[in-house]
Amino acid sequence: MYKDNSVNDSDGRHLLKTLRLAVWRLQNADQEAGILARVRKVLDRVGGAYDGCRLYRVEEVKGGQKLSVHTLTPDGYWRSLEGGGDWVLEAWRSASTCCRVPKLRGERDWLAGQLSRGVGAILETGFDQGVLAIYREAPIAFSDEDAEILEGLGEVLSGLYYRLQDLQQSHAKEVQLRQVQKLQMVGQLTAEVAHEINNPLAVIIGESSLLLEDKMESMVEDGVRAVYKAGLQARDISERLLHFARGQKAKKEWLNFNRLVQETAVLVRRTLQNEQIEIAEDMEPNLPWVEAHAGQIQQIVLNLIQNSRDAIRQIDGVGRVVLRTSIRQGWVTLQVEDNGPGIPEEIWSDIFEPFFTTKEGDQGTGLGLSVCAGIARDHDGRLLVEKSDRGACMTLELPLKQSAVLASN
Ligand SMILES: Nc1ncnc2c1ncn2[C@@H]1O[C@H](COP(=O)(O)OP(=O)(O)OP(=O)(O)O)[C@@H](O)[C@H]1O
Ligand SMILES: [Mg+2]
């Protein structure tokens, strides 16, 4: 016998509401299974009695749809659907909730195979990415309340799959962004290394060519000639490296600094929001324009925000990064301030050194700040760490040039 199915309406709505919230708070894609288990619990608690349920996923792929099925049990998993696709697609396309009996023998037999029992009544709801269905062995219709709960669950599942898609996209974007940052860093570092190597090379080439002008024992002369030739080869390589690195550097141009900072923040705001980190802006409205390389300045801003994000991960509670622009004693400045644990004063002089990192494993290369400081120097500016009441405050200073136009933001 089926239980009297006068659903406790407010109970059902409450459960759906908390489930919806859980979906919106989802932080990572591997929480799908947990949500599906909760969907099943809602069905068990407030849905009318049923003998089986299935969740079908419909994914648009090249040349059609891919169908998969889940049993909604805690140990359940997605497997591809065998047979029955037409009925699932029909329910999906209808995008509505309906109570019906199985169609013809074909569907009846297919369901019997799926559920290992006969099916006399079906309640199904089609949502954007699939179909949720519950089944009864006896041909007793489901109630309107059951339909309402199922439809609510369909909406939750739709929200779930949109959210998972969002999370995947922002993850992919972040990976891409990091990759670009690393490549830019490599370019910058290459230029610096090549530049540094050119000085000793000049000595090697110069001194050996001077020696070759004198008479020497032939064995010594062979040796010096080999040194000279190797020096020329090395210079050739370093010239090519420099050429490659310069190729990545476009010309500096006059930039609306506030806008550049704001546009850079847009790139990461969403990803950070997902981690409960807010990026706030405090922009000086009358900031003069700066002469700079947009891509490189963006790289600094991204690196500083990335460092703040890594730091904030060490604290509990809501994170906050403030991007503040101002004019200060001949400089146009950007401060990136966060509410992380801060940077201990005893390492202030180390953090700009290449490969200095306090991050474990492969979490950090320790190149971020050294590359950023190099970029700041290339712009006749500076990158500094400053005292802050809480958290860390990094400041980028760019020279305030006389010819700078006042920005009309
Ligand atoms: N906002 C911050 N809060 C706390 N510590 C920071 C902050 N920014 C930088 N640091 C410290 O400075 C060190 C050096 O930073 P840097 O950006 O050069 O390298 P990294 O972040 O460790 O590695 P990578 O930038 O390659 O990921 C960090 O390891 C960290 O100890
Ligand atoms: Mg860093």
Choose one of 307, 337, 348 to mutate for the ligand 1 pocket test, by most ligand atoms within 8 angstroms of C-beta: 307
Give residue 72's region: left, alpha or beta (phi > 0; psi -120 to 50).
Answer: left
CA 101 – CA 27 distance, rounded (Å): 39
Ligand 2 center from residue 109 Cα (angstroms): 60
CA 207 – CA 406 distance, rounded (Å): 52
DSSP 47-80: SPP-SEEEEEEEEEETTEEEEEEE--STT---EE
Ligand 2 center from residue 354 Cα (angstroms): 11
Q: What is the pLDDT of residue 3?
A: 42
Residue 367 is given by DSSP the state -
Name 279's bridge partners.
Answer: 321
Q: What is the pLDDT of residue 6?
A: 42
* Residue 285, both tokens: 């409205």
Q: Give 10-residue mean pLDDT values along the chain (409 residues).
A: 47 83 82 89 80 93 90 88 89 93 86 90 95 93 90 93 86 74 72 80 89 87 90 84 63 91 88 91 94 88 94 93 95 97 95 89 83 88 93 96 52
Ligand 1 center from residue 349 Cα (angstroms): 12
Q: What is the pLDDT of residue 1?
A: 38
Q: Which residues line ligand 1 (CB under 6 A)?
A: 303, 307-308, 311, 338, 340, 343, 351, 356-359, 364-370, 392
Ligand 2 center from residue 258 Cα (angstroms): 22
Residue 99 is given by DSSP the state E
Q: What is the pLDDT of residue 357?
A: 93
Query: Residue 355: nearest ligand to its CA?
Result: 1
HSE toward the beta carbon, residue 11, CA cutoff 13 A: 12
Ligand 1 center from residue 380 Cα (angstroms): 23
User: Does the pTM exceed 0.85?
Assistant: no
From the list 385, 374, 373, the residue with the least C-alpha distance to 348 is 385
Query: Residue 336: nearest ligand to its CA?
Result: 1
